[in-house]
Each structure stands twice: as C-alpha cells, then as structure tokens.
A and B are shown apart, each in its own frame.
Chain A
C-alpha cells in the first residue's frame, strides 16, 4: 500500500478504509523503533474494537508496546502469518505485515486521523 493514501494515529498505527473495511497496521517508523520484534499478540476474529483502545501487543527484545485501534468496529480478519513470522511486520509493514481488518459502521471516515504529511511532522518532533 502507498503510505500517501493511508491515515495515521498518534500511536503509530496506519489505517486504510475501503468501503466498510478498515485495514490497520503499524508504521515503518514504529517498526524501526522497535527493531527486534519477537512476538505479536493478536486479538480474535469477531472481537469488537474501540477507537483508542488496545487490541493487542507487540513485543521486541527490549520492551512490549500496546497496539491501538484507530476506529470502532468488529474484527473480521487478523494476519495469522504474523504469529509464525513476526518479522513480516518489519520487512513489509504496509502490505504483508498488516495487523487486522475491522468492519466499521457505515459513514465512518478517517478524517480524525493524520495525513502522511502531518504524521511525518510528528515523528520528526519525536526524533529530537
């Protein structure tokens, strides 16, 4: 997926909305910060998620971080490949390394999330 077409949460998740299905992943910046990813604890299909709430966790050698949903809805798919090969999220965070797909209510938009340009400004300030 083209990072320019994605929207971004402050907590470094990206979101892509197509119809009523929102695909959620973690940005390259976040993945690079974590580096040695060893485990991703994923939710189950049909679990509800709420915007701003944790739906799983990602563990690196050094630390563990929560994964936050940028939208409300129900999980319709999780990327099971990550359970056997968590390095996929490092090598391909915008395609093969996606995390979950959420069915959102009709009329849901991603307008509250950042554009790529806004997100890049945020990470530039975090790097200092």
Chain B
C-alpha cells in the first residue's frame, strides 16, 4: 500500500485528487492544474512535499561519506548552505539528484521519494566503517513548499527566523510555535520561495496557517508543469541510472577536482564521449503535446526521445524536454516529433523555457 503524508486526510477532505507517486498517495490537483500553476507564477502556491526523503547525518565522518557518494563538493559549503548534486553509480549514471544541507551540528540530505530506500541502502553499503549515523526522518517530519512572487512576504513572521533574511539556497534551523523546524530558500518551480521541514505533528496546523496567509494549495500536476517550464529535471524522466550529469546539462554540479567519489572514473570517460545524447528543450509548432517516449526525428531518422512534455499554462504552447543526438542540439534546429502517430514540427530552444523576472 502506498505511504501517506501527515496531510493525507486534509487532501482527501479538500477535493485533492489522489494518485500514487514514488510510493506515496499524493494530490495531483485540487481545483485545476492551470489555476494552481498560475497561482505560483503570480502569487503564492503551497505544496505538500512530505513524500521527499529527508535524511540526517551525524558523526565525525558524515562529510567524508557525503563526499564519497556525491558529485558536487560539500567540503566548501558553509553552515546553512544548501547545494544541489548527484549521487552516481560506478559508471557515472545518476542514482538520484539531491540537495545537501550543512548545519553547524551535522548534515542533511533531501532525496527523491522514489529513490529514498535505494539511497538509504546505498549509503549504508558505502559507509565502510566510517563513524556516521544516518537517520531517515521522512515519516516523522513533514515538508511543505511555499512558492511564488508573494511567497516570502506571506511567510513573514511564520517562524522565528524569516526566509526573506536567507540568501538563495540557504537554510536555517528555527522554531514554529515553540517547536524546532528548518526553513530554506529553495524550491522546484522556477519562482522564489521557501521550503519548511517541521515535525509531522505540526503538518496540518502549519499547512492551514499558510492557507490563511494566502497560499493556494497546489498538487503535483502543477509542480510538474512548473518545473518543466523552469527546465528542472525530474528523476525517472530526465534522470536515470543510464544518463550521466553531462548529458543532462548538469556538469556544474560535478566537481572532478574535489577528490575521488563513486562514479568519478566513469564520469571522466563519459565526459569525453561526444556521441551520447544530450538533454534539450523543444518547442512545438502546434498545440498537441508530445509526451514521454515520443520519438524525435530528423529526415525520417530517429534522433532521440521525449522525456517530459506538456502544454504550458504560462507560455500557452507545447514544450518538451528530450534527449537527442548531439549533432542536432544547436538552438533553432528543426526536427519532427511522432506524437501518437502524427507528425508535429518542433525546434530546439535554449533552456529554461521560463525564467522569472527579478
């Protein structure tokens, strides 16, 4: 049976349409994906992301273990900093994409729901006698995201520390109604905003307070269209064990000079391989959306596959991300897509599709 977040009953009681995602029963939408999407682009949306895996690391060798499995460099992080990176397999394929948090007292990592158990066992497997304790806090805590141009203003005074005072990709431990929690200026929508991790027992009161403050509940449907417009990869679509970070356009999250880590040798080889497909953005001429799996063609020859696609609510056109033959990745390159048996014209465009105005 699928897992439930502490907000499951709230979602069901408020018209949330529940679907299974990454082993969890999650709301895909409450009213309309377009409405929820626009709330995040123009005001503030609220997401239950308690399904994300929350791991905490303690012990003298916590940093050493993180460095061993993580493609980015955690050693240069300052207290309160958050950094994106990949966990790779030996050949350089992506096992997960994660956020690492550095605290004065230890480390934390947020991993994808669908990969949580895989990553927990991967960490245990690679501990190799290091002094580190890994605590999976996913089911004892909740995680909410408030995203949009009004998100930070609306959260003013919610917790003792304000997210507005944090720099982008920074976090701080603080308190909500006298209980410990963590806020971070991070998100997965292409908008400014904050994420908060608190005890599971506080999930409903925190959620309802954020709604009273003006945030609109949004489901995973809008989360998907928002991240797609912002060209953020989603594990299982743009990222997999067979795709490396260079193909995915995430070379900035790989630090070859930080010392050895799992996958580094594979990555050194793959970095030089100019034949591997690359992630690109595609904009379609028509309004039919190309979904995952649609073939990308040039002169009748298959040059790649779509990994995510939709008609975007903000831009009102069909967009997709795809992995294609590197010979065709230049912006402006025209190709065709096989959308359920019918040909649609598309062209390669620079990513992201949407960038917020500062």
Q: Which residues of A contact B (CB under 8 A)?
A: 35-36, 38-39, 41, 57, 59-64
1/0 per residue, CB under 8 A from A, across B32-54: the answer is 11100100000000000000000
Q: A64: which of B28, B32, B37, B291 is its contact (CB, 8 Å)?
A: B291
Would you call the interface of chain A mostly helix, strand, loop, or mixed?
strand
The bracket for how many chain B residues form the interface is 10 to 19
Contact A61–B33 (Cβ < 8 Å): yes
Which residues 314-338 of B have a CB within 8 angstroms of A? none
Contact B311–A57 (Cβ < 8 Å): no
Q: CB-nearest residue of chain A relative to B37?
A: A61
Contact B288–A39 (Cβ < 8 Å): yes
Q: B310: which of A35, A41, A57, A61 is its contact (CB, 8 Å)?
A: A61
Chain B residues with CB below 8 A from A36, complex form: 32-34, 313
Contact B33–A35 (Cβ < 8 Å): yes
Chain A residues with CB below 8 A from B258, complex form: none
Q: How far is the CB of A24 from chain B (nearest CB, A)?
A: 21
> With A35-B29, A38-B311 in contact, is A61–B34 under 8 Å at CB?
yes
Q: State whether the Cβ of B130 lies closer than 8 Å to any Cβ in chain A.
A: no
Q: State whether the Cβ of B78 lies closer than 8 Å to any Cβ in chain A.
A: no
Q: CB-nearest residue of chain B relative to A60?
A: B33
CA distance A59 to B313 in the complex (A): 13
CA distance A35 to B291 in the complex (A): 18
Contact A41–B288 (Cβ < 8 Å): yes
Q: State whether the Cβ of B225 lies closer than 8 Å to any Cβ in chain A.
A: yes
Our count of residue pairs bridging A and B at CB distance below 8 angstroms stands at 38
Contact B340–A64 (Cβ < 8 Å): yes
Q: State whether the Cβ of B106 lies closer than 8 Å to any Cβ in chain A.
A: no
> With A35-B33, A36-B33 in contact, is A61–B287 under 8 Å at CB?
no
**Apart from the given pairs A61-B221, A61-B310, 19 other A-B contacts in the complex at a CB distance below 8 Å:** A35-B29, A35-B32, A35-B33, A36-B34, A38-B287, A38-B289, A38-B311, A39-B287, A39-B289, A39-B311, A41-B288, A59-B288, A59-B289, A59-B311, A60-B33, A61-B33, A62-B310, A64-B289, A64-B291
Chain B residues with CB below 8 A from A41, complex form: 288
Q: CB-nearest residue of chain B relative to A39?
A: B287
Chain A residues with CB below 8 A from B288, complex form: 39, 41, 59
CA distance A57 to B37 in the complex (A): 24
CA distance A41 to B345 in the complex (A): 16
1/0 per residue, CB under 8 A from A, across B283-297: the answer is 000011101000000
Q: CB-nearest residue of chain B relative to A33?
A: B17
> With A38-B311, A39-B311, A57-B340 in contact, is A62–B287 under 8 Å at CB?
no
CA distance A37 to B71 in the complex (A): 41
Q: How far is the CB of B266 from chain A (nearest CB, A)?
A: 36
